[in-house]
Structure 1
């Protein structure tokens, strides 16, 4: 199967039952993150921007205003990215669903796609995006944000939903790859701001590429699609959707192993934060680079290793409320974050990016050291969350924002999507949050 054959030829009946079940839960998780991120400052700014600068009649997610399809994709991708709790793919060191979902949702709605076609397009997008990300990492030395391969992924979804022919699809992919945001991920790691992972910009570029190609704008080939055959050889044999991780906490995945190690020691020894003098972390280089130990804004707190680990020690978990702009001035959290020692480990470096290891030592005020085992994040694809755990996460995020009745209605609409079509879902997603 070629990438173009995947885009236009994949059918719901081709998918294993486990893949069909997983895409429903993956979509539910993305919607929960979108709801949780709706109230962030980043989300408010980008939705205002889309409404003002991207005029059009397409409805925006959780907003009363409209924009162009590209503007809707921009706003939706950045709203999800504003709360860093969405699924990801270890080989990509990034995320596929965040740029894919808002583009596919808007275009499916505008094209009158069926529920089955929408779900199949999302599965196709995960399969396409996983391999596009691997191809890009193999062909360029820089570490670019998810928006870079997210642009071609959004274009692939759009080409399918708009029914482009083979040659026009090639041009859409080439335009998206060429104009997709090759933004420097490690710059944002060193200096975290609202630019984050580039997902919204990639989603916007992918949607724009599809409409440009349909009008005759040329751009083929997409190098990552047409000149990396070894990456695409297992299409139809390996289901990359089943290799995505989920996040129990809305912070950068690179901080999750230290967080889990802190939580394991806290629980095993019944510790309170006041008993801990200092936290020391051994982990991989990229996690050490998440060096924002005194964040002033939510985006800085989410792109940190020390602050989430301190939150875990103080609260025993990490919730969106702990990361809000106005919640960051917590004395015990700040004390532990500022005093934390981060050390790079060759053991952890050797395993990255396929596995993310950390080992934590808690130095207690009485002088005793407590050391964890080498620890990995929860909910990796090798040990995924249960359906009940993901549904619980969704409600924890969505219920406070949407209300339980509306959150339940979205969950029910997703479950019935293959039978009822998109309207029951989009009726909920395109209505504003009061």
Structure 2
């Protein structure tokens, strides 16, 4: 485990104030025009070094997560359908090696990348960025052919910035809105990335965004029901992006005032609870996606602060499950709804998705096993009596101070452990491990990638993770990024 840093030293990010009205910045052109102009003119030489490094990191982590996801439930069925449907051999299914139409490759690869819930998060926006963007950009690159690494990275950066800006500007949480912003905003982000790869001009990009608007979706009910479609939703976003950009290339007209029109996305989907100035401010100069976090644990990010607290207390006080009388965990309201409700389901998860979205189960795994790993989210692990017994003694609650200060963000966790002998131990973690203020070490990131590659559905080369890292580190000079897909093909 990486060294534990006192999160209280890192400070706090207060929740933003609401801004639902039109400002002077929005009196003219729709944000679709602003976004299209930004994306179409973005090139690698305009990106600052930290943004280039962040884009590379996202490509590496997303593709590693796709390797792990290739063996997850529902991926085989998705891949089988894509192969059965057949069609033009335009782009690769990662790990499996099949060639299918580009929109089907984006769909399957996006599903793989999200299936293990090991992928990036933006902790203020509460969404995953790369799982729609990177698969869409890679499928578009294989469709076009001969796309260099510099153009690919610029496209990925444009897509990541799109989804992260939409996320931080949004003032309504995922539980209240009922939408998962990973996929809802991912339709636009993936469209921007794929459109930039295919070389759309500004008018075509505006049309592509309007076409994507006719397809946007992604609900929160999937997590409540433990549905496997939860992991498919970013794949659907990547798929719609490939369809949208190709239709725009063929001069199909989409909505023009996609975001701020009378029936635009901000009103219809977000009830105008979006800071329109925040969408535009510093676009092309300040890159929000550099604030992405990378997960040390393969489960919902809303569990992570509590897992960190459990691991730190376990190590500091040699806590073992049999010594624990009760654990109380204070969190914000959206986390309580997402990973603690209904409590009987979260304390005894019957599906992998419910386990991924269970604070009691993941905290129990941390205390019992000293870590939270891919193996905890296999069906066989869900019946482990030691984990379930401790999960029954873990009681989450809404902490009003955390709710007031962090209501829209990934939640901090205030943990109180009561021992059988009457002693108590407490710790508050504000920023979970993997946040830019508490980054994972390079060694931890490498270990995660190796873990992911070992979980792949097909055996990969022994040094596949290292090969992928070397390729991504030199991506700016890569002549054809289809090499990324080849790096994730099974051993022949």
How far apart in 1 are the matches of 2:92 and 2:350? Answer: 33
Which residue does 1:258 correspond to in 2?
306
TM-score (norm 1): 0.92
1:142: how far off? 1.6
Contact 1:136 1:224 in 2 (8 A): no
My pick for the range that moved more, 187-196 or 243-252, is 187-196
1:417: how far off? 2.0
How far apart in 2 are the matches of 1:115 and 1:244? Answer: 21
1:366: how far off? 2.5
The secondary structure found in structure 2 opposite 1:237 is: coil
How far apart in 1 are the matches of 2:298 and 2:235? Answer: 17
My pick for the range that moved more, 338-347 or 420-429, is 420-429
Q: Is 1:363 matched with 2:398?
A: no
How far apart in 1 are the matches of 2:51 and 2:443? Answer: 17
Q: Is 1:404 matched with 2:440?
A: no
Q: How does 1:237-386 map to 2 (within 5 A)?
A: 237-289=285-337, 290-291=339-340, 292-350=346-404, 351-354=406-409, 356-386=411-441
Return 5+ residue gaps in structure 2 as ranges. 1-32, 265-275, 341-345
The secondary structure found in structure 1 opposite 2:308 is: helix
Query: Compared with structure 1, are the counterparts of its residues 93 and 385 closer, same or farther at alpha carbon in structure 2 (3 Å cutoff)?
Result: same
How far apart in 1 are the matches of 2:365 and 2:491? Answer: 29
Q: Is 1:159 matched with 2:195?
A: yes
From 166, 179, 192, the equivalent of 1:132 is 166
The secondary structure found in structure 2 opposite 1:224 is: coil
Which residue does 2:486 correspond to in 1?
427
Return 5+ residue gaps in structure 1 as ranges. none
Query: Compared with structure 1, are the counterparts of its residues 78 and 137 closer, same or farther at alpha carbon in structure 2 (3 Å cutoff)?
Result: farther
How far apart in 1 are the matches of 2:382 and 2:336? Answer: 21
Q: Deviations over 1:322-357 (max 9, x none)?
A: 211222221111111133211111112121333521
Q: Deviations over 1:114-171 (max 9, x none)?
A: 0111111111111122123345656997242211110111111122122222222111
My pick for the range that moved more, 108-117 or 96-105, is 108-117
Which residue does 2:63 correspond to in 1?
31
Which residue does 2:282 correspond to in 1?
234
* Root-mean-square deviation (Å): 2.3
Contact 1:82 1:299 in 2 (8 A): no
Which residue does 1:199 correspond to in 2?
234
1:310: how far off? 0.6
How far apart in 1 are the matches of 2:366 and 2:189? Answer: 35
Query: Compared with structure 1, are the counterparts of its residues 296 and 3 closer, same or farther at alpha carbon in structure 2 (3 Å cutoff)?
Result: same
How far apart in 2 are the matches of 1:318 and 1:138? Answer: 30
Which residue does 2:22 correspond to in 1?
none
TM-score (norm 2): 0.82
Q: Is 1:115 matched with 2:149?
A: yes
Contact 1:30 1:98 in 2 (8 A): yes
The secondary structure found in structure 2 opposite 1:372 is: strand
From 475, 478, 483, the equivalent of 1:417 is 475
Which residue does 1:100 correspond to in 2?
133
Tell me which of the two structures has the higher relative contact order, counting C-alpha pairs closer than 8 angstroms and 6 or more residues apart. 2
Which residue does 1:6 correspond to in 2?
38
My pick for the range that moved more, 205-214 or 187-196, is 187-196
Contact 1:63 1:433 in 2 (8 A): no
